[in-house]
Amino acid sequence: MLKLEEFTQKRKLIPFIILLMLSLIPLFIKNEYILHLIILILLWSILGISWNLLGGYTGQVSFGHAAFFGVGAYTACLFYVKGGIPLWLGIIAAGISGALISIPIGAICFRLRGPYFALSVLALAEVLRLITLHWKSFTEGAVGILLIETIFSTKLGYYYFIIGIAIITIIIMAYLLQKRTGYYFRAIREDEDAAEALGIFTLRYKLFALIISAFFTGIMGAFFANYTNYIDPYIVFSIGDVSIAMVLIVVLGGIGTFWGPLIGATIVVLISEGFRSFFSTASLLIYGVLIVLVILFLPRGVVGSIQRKI
């Protein structure tokens, strides 16, 4: 019994040890492409962790998280380009606007049982994509927004920045999950009626999970905009490249597990980058094959399947 508790205590430190090691890597490796890969892995890990909080732990599956990603990206860019607001502040504003836009959807759909939430977020993402596309005077439409100046001028800057965000995200996640909130999230996932009968205000907790999930997704949207210097409606509101990718990463890694999103992000980024070098259009095919393989052989994801064996 004591051994198990010791082990779980030490286990909590592992993410930070990994991130510490990652922080030291640039001292030895100067190859910018490797830094780029790690940045991508961390970007998708944070996105995966955000989705997992709502979809994996609370059981509210979303196929439209691109809505929050895109809103975050455009908030940061438009604040800067139209309002002259520094990109630093834009990142926080991005998280807030992601969270704000999620509230009406949650407030309505979480009162209902069934697929309404999943479909509504998907619809929201599409509606936002279309609005952004056609409201040219405000958003530049399909031309997109090019950031001439961004937060950092070196890849190294973004590298440490995203490590920092990853640390904050993991701390918040771990904190919530070990408190009463984490138990309530999982109770809601398992059986909402049972949860209500045990005194849980399920609507409030579902909204809470959604707001946090949307907040971090929005922040990642703003990070992405700064890192790649350019956004347009097709990129940031994309169903396949953003919404479904987030689902794939978590499901592959292990839905509802702590490590799932990190493992899933690593696998998906490495595979798609690997294949991109060889055949670029096949990357979409790879996604499809991965999804089929996961459903057939690893429905609990990598981490989930290992946990099952223990």
Partner 1 sequence: MILEVKGLTKNFGGLMAVKDINFYVQRGEILGLIGPNGAGKTTIFNMIGGFFKPTKGTVYFKGIDITKLSPPKICKLGITRTFQLVKPLSQLTVLENVMVGAFVRVKDPIEARKRAIKILEFTGQVDKKDMRAANLSHGDRKKLEISKALATQPELLLLDECMAGLNPHEVSDAIEIIKRIRESGVTLIVIEHVMKAIMSISDRIIVLNHGEKIMEGTPDQVAVNPEVIKAYLGERYARN
Catalogue the E-assigned strands of the chain.
145-146, 230-231
Residue in 85, 186, 291, 306 binding partner 1, rule: CB under 8 A: 186
Nearest C-alpha neighbor of 70 from the set 266, 219, 227 = 219
CB closer to partner 1, 202 vs 283: 202
Beta carbon of residue 178, minimum distance to partner 1 (angstroms, whole number)? 7
Beta carbon of residue 187, minimum distance to partner 1 (angstroms, whole number)? 5
For residues 263 and 253, is the Cβ–Cβ distance under 8 A?
yes
DSSP state of 143: G
Residue 296 binds partner 1, judged by CB under 8 A: no
Total of residues contacting partner 1 (CB under 8 A): 21
At residue 122's C-alpha, the angle toward residues 117 and 128, to 5°, is: 120
Nearest C-alpha neighbor of 166 from the set 17, 8, 7, 10 = 17
CA distances (Å), origin 29, targets 33, 73, 227: 10, 30, 20
Residue 197 binds partner 1, judged by CB under 8 A: yes
Beta carbon of residue 197, minimum distance to partner 1 (angstroms, whole number)? 6
What are the backbone dihedrals phi and psi of residue 145, each rounded to the nearest 5 degrees, phi first?
-120, 125
120-159 mask for partner 1 (x: CB under 8 A)?
----------------------------------------
Specify the stretch interacting with partner 1 by CB under 8 A; choose among 31-39, 94-102, 153-161, 194-202. 194-202
CB closer to partner 1, 44 vs 205: 205
CB closer to partner 1, 123 vs 298: 298
Residue in 20, 112, 142, 198 binding partner 1, rule: CB under 8 A: 198
Query: What does the alpha-carbon distance between residue 123 and residue 237 come to, in Å, rounded to a whole number?
Result: 11
What are the backbone dihedrals phi and psi of residue 112, each rounded to the nearest 5 degrees, phi first?
-105, 155
Residue in 80, 184, 208, 215 binding partner 1, rule: CB under 8 A: 184
Residue 193 binds partner 1, judged by CB under 8 A: yes
Query: What does the alpha-carbon distance between residue 139 and residue 232 come to, in Å, rounded to a whole number?
Result: 9
Specify the stretch interacting with partner 1 by CB under 8 A; choose among 8-16, 95-103, 187-195, 269-277. 187-195
Beta carbon of residue 110, minimum distance to partner 1 (angstroms, whole number)? 14
Beta carbon of residue 184, minimum distance to partner 1 (angstroms, whole number)? 7
Residue 32 binds partner 1, judged by CB under 8 A: no
For residues 206 and 188, is the Cβ–Cβ distance under 8 A?
yes
Q: Quick one: 247 exposed, middle or buried, by C-beta within 10 A (0-12, 13-18, 19+)?
A: buried
Contacts to partner 1 from residues 220-259, by CB under 8 A: 256
Residue 179 binds partner 1, judged by CB under 8 A: yes
Beta carbon of residue 256, minimum distance to partner 1 (angstroms, whole number)? 8
Residue 64: how many CB atoms within 10 A of its CB? 28
Specify the stretch interacting with partner 1 by CB under 8 A; choose among 193-201, 224-232, 243-251, 287-295. 193-201
Specify the stretch interacting with partner 1 by CB under 8 A; choose among 6-14, 89-97, 183-191, 219-227. 183-191
Residue 5 binds partner 1, judged by CB under 8 A: no
**H-state helical runs in 179-281:** 180-190, 192-197, 202-228, 233-236, 245-253, 260-278
Strand partners, 145: 231
What is the binding site for partner 1 (CB under 8 A)?
Answer: 178-180, 183-184, 186-187, 189-191, 193-202, 256
